Structure 1
């Protein structure tokens, strides 16, 4: 009996250990960390899907801000970005004023997500709808607060994502998780657009935006809560930033700051970093212009001629799935991306975007169906892995910098922050340039009469069938006032020329980076080859000794 009891007790202990192992297995698996990152990406997507699509339309059509004040605010915001981005990065690397939590990426994500939710809500509650100066101040404060928190949270998020996946294949897998959750986050546009009738019922829009803010904050805080605590490589990164690794970091902040400046200068001189920054800058220009002015362009060139009316289910679905289809496309390209590599796949997508622009130039703006097809393809190609390809390029830059300078640990936070310093100005320059292009056709003067208060042409189409709408609308557009015709032509040409310039520039930069990368790999192989004779000589010497 005693032996049987011992066996029974031993079996119970084994079963208990197996249960404990099973309980811990999922959290310790390679899928847990990407899943939590996916929740973070879901929260980001809900915020940005609403922000990028609606903020320009709301401030122009609901708050009645002038284009002049938009340009002033964007210019000031450009200056703030030059200060904000490196400041947030250095705070996370070397700390400040005894705030140790800001150096912990998990805590930054956990605590700052609710604050980012509050700053996001500032956009949707007007300070004034009659005083352009107060409305401009409203936009300025909202952009300053929201971008500061996005930079702080985003740099922590990017650092965790890259360092959790050290190889190219693991990074692709982790980014697929992020893209999947990003698709789900982007779908919030569909119910919001239907519920608010494309923000025309602004009270409903405010309620929907508040619900989305709470959902996004809960998703980000929950994902950050279950993320693993600070890893050893993050401590090495802080030591790498210190002038004397064995000394206490808090007593060496001055030396750390000088070291940070020296290391930053090493990074910004790296050719691969320069190529990455220029490519991401041009991609941001495309993405921001496509997102921020998408509603305005569609209302003028598509909805008013009678194709896909404002607030319709078809148009709401287009807004919701336009960006999400880019993420779906990236997920479908997972295996080709692993086989072809980042640069080749990016060049293929850029070739599609360039072809789309050329076809749109040939077809012109008279056919609303052709215009909506162009905007849809551009939206998909601009968002297809736009964030993920940037992460993959940044990962290669981090690997190159770590290897070239023999760093103990990758300085991912600093590199991401420096990248943001040079690429984030695209978010301000893109609206400035695009509005300047639109003003060639009198956008500021004639937008109210030609778009907002002009009767839709749908009422004059009678019982025209769907295939005939494009032809009928094209004939009616020729009868419009000359100023409206000039405005619509300027809007269509500005959309195409802007995309054409950014796409060609990105193709040139990505191709240059690809050939430069191949040159680095050849140099590494050449450096490694002399080691073989040395090893053979050592083997011969050992054999002689034997």
Structure 2
């Protein structure tokens, strides 16, 4: 790999897509639920319908785009950096879809539901198209172990920087209280993110591409459908694979729950005079930055005790912390704020990916589950100034939010302990 003033240029080019995508993805997942529920006042039925459509699309677009990119004869799809280069502007435009209403929505208007469907499906489609190309680019840039370690290091730093977008967005927009500033920030972020990914598209040249351009032909490496089905059957019958996927499903559910509702719960459970706006912005930012920081400092721990024990101990920590928070109660605001931050970054997040086909439904089921419960306690009336509901109703709502904050992580961690205990690959960290 070429070094320029001490900078590994191929690794830098590769990691720029991680930086651009990370900045947009954190903002999207953190704010879209609150925006559609509180500002656009989408109905519960329309919200659920949008999530069901998204769940279906979310499950099929990965293999669909993967097949297209692997089997297309067009350089636009088959050369990874060009997929990123041409996909980046559309990815950035898709990121902007939710933040600009198509009209002044009235409460429960059907158009807000269509808006949510389009926002979720288009954004996830472009995310998949670009990031699948980036994943393939990782293996094609170099086959050397040392070079790939450099890619990983640069990528982890880029993930850390990308996760800071929530912090800066909160400071600029007063945690989305100032919508014009929020919209201006998202436009600037989209431009910056597109520029980062285009840098990958221009300079992320792989060995595969060089060979492809020299020969100007593809080798026939595509698998037949019979081979694909046989391999799939072999994978699905592996006990450890089923345990890992089941574990990862609940991990994605937990991560989605935290990302989508941390801001909503904090705004309602912690009075505005208890935590100033700047402190809230730091709290929200820390919730996304801290997990990336854990990844950077966890390598020695993983090498010494292995993934299995780190994951299992992480689940026990989640159980203990959730129980303690439940016993302490919601009146201690700084303790609650700390719990919300740490709840977004359990130790097990360091070793679980979130893109497996079988885990993607959790990204839709988590918001559907929580919104259904919240609306049963009057959440849909919370921001409606026209209504004057009984204040005692909101006390019940706040109690429900606190119970969800504690009990969802507790129950998920207990389920994960039961699933993870029989996992048999436990000493891979000492295998030479």
Is TM-score (shorter-chain normalized) higher than 0.5? yes
Q: Determine helix, strand or coil for the equivalent of 1:64.
A: coil
Measured at CA, do residues 187 and 146 of structure 1 come closer, stay the same or move farther in structure 2, by a change above 3 Å?
same
**What TM-score do the two structures reach when normalised by structure 1?**
0.70
Aligned counterpart for 1:141 among listed residues 113, 118, 123: 118
Shifted more, 327-336 versus 164-173: the winner is 164-173
Give 1:63's aligned residue. Answer: 40
Alignment of 1:350-389 (within 5 A): 350-381=315-346, 386=349, 389=351
Q: Deviations over 1:5-51 (max 9, x none)?
A: xxxxxxxxxxxxxxxxxxx7417x99444333322211111101211
Q: Does the 8 Å CA contact 2:23/2:165 hold for their aligned counterparts? A: yes
Give 1:448's aligned residue. Answer: 383
Aligned counterpart for 1:262 among listed residues 230, 238, 246: 230
* 1:186 maps to 2:163: yes
Q: Does the 8 Å CA contact 2:306/2:426 hold for their aligned counterparts? A: no
Q: Determine helix, strand or coil for the equivalent of 2:356.
A: helix
What is the rounded CA distance, in whole Å, between the counterparts of 1:420 and 1:31 in structure 2?
A: 30
Alignment of 1:343-492 (within 5 A): 343-381=308-346, 386=349, 389-390=351-352, 420-444=356-380, 446-448=381-383, 481-492=391-402
What is the rounded CA distance, in whole Å, between the counterparts of 2:68 and 2:351 in structure 1?
A: 27
Measured at CA, do residues 168 and 330 of structure 1 come closer, stay the same or move farther in structure 2, by a change above 3 Å?
farther
* 1:113 maps to 2:80: no
Aligned counterpart for 2:275 among listed residues 308, 313, 316: 308
Shift of 1:263: 3.1
Give 1:317's aligned residue. Answer: 282
Q: Determine helix, strand or coil for the equivalent of 2:101.
A: coil
Give 1:536's aligned residue. Answer: none
Alignment of 1:125-164 (within 5 A): 125-128=100-103, 129-130=105-106, 132-161=109-138
What is the rounded CA distance, in whole Å, between the counterparts of 1:112 and 1:257 in structure 2?
A: 28
Q: Does the 8 Å CA contact 1:356/1:377 hold for their aligned counterparts? A: no
Q: Does the 8 Å CA contact 2:140/2:208 hold for their aligned counterparts? A: no
What is the rounded CA distance, in whole Å, between the counterparts of 1:316 and 1:167 in structure 2?
A: 41
What is the rounded CA distance, in whole Å, between the counterparts of 2:284 and 2:31 in structure 1?
A: 11
Measured at CA, do residues 170 and 352 of structure 1 come closer, stay the same or move farther in structure 2, by a change above 3 Å?
farther
Q: Deviations over 1:371-396 (max 9, x none)?
A: 21210110232xx673x5235xxxxx
Q: Does the 8 Å CA contact 2:141/2:207 hold for their aligned counterparts? A: no
What is the rounded CA distance, in whole Å, between the counterparts of 1:118 and 1:257 in structure 2?
A: 35
Q: Does the 8 Å CA contact 1:35/1:177 hold for their aligned counterparts? A: yes
What is the rounded CA distance, in whole Å, between the counterparts of 2:89 and 2:221 in structure 1?
A: 31
Give 2:17's aligned residue. Answer: 40
What is the rounded CA distance, in whole Å, between the counterparts of 1:173 and 1:89 in structure 2?
A: 25
Shift of 1:127: 1.2
Q: Deviations over 1:247-278 (max 9, x none)?
A: xxxxxxxxx34433333333333334323322
Measured at CA, do residues 134 and 25 of structure 1 come closer, stay the same or move farther in structure 2, by a change above 3 Å?
closer
Shifted more, 167-176 versus 74-83: the winner is 167-176
* 1:285 maps to 2:253: yes
* 1:507 maps to 2:396: no
Bigger proportion of residues as helix: 1
Measured at CA, do residues 278 and 100 of structure 1 come closer, stay the same or move farther in structure 2, by a change above 3 Å?
farther
Measured at CA, do residues 293 and 141 of structure 1 come closer, stay the same or move farther in structure 2, by a change above 3 Å?
same
Q: Determine helix, strand or coil for the equivalent of 2:176.
A: coil
Paired residue total: 425
Q: Does the 8 Å CA contact 1:73/1:136 hold for their aligned counterparts? A: yes
Shifted more, 158-167 versus 342-351: the winner is 158-167
**What TM-score do the two structures reach when normalised by structure 2?**
0.87
Measured at CA, do residues 510 and 152 of structure 1 come closer, stay the same or move farther in structure 2, by a change above 3 Å?
farther
Q: CA RMSD in A?
A: 3.4
Measured at CA, do residues 83 and 301 of structure 1 come closer, stay the same or move farther in structure 2, by a change above 3 Å?
same
Query: Between Structure 1 and Structure 2, whose CA radius of gyration is higher?
Result: 1
Unaligned runs of 5+ in 2: 213-217
Q: Does the 8 Å CA contact 1:440/1:490 hold for their aligned counterparts? A: no
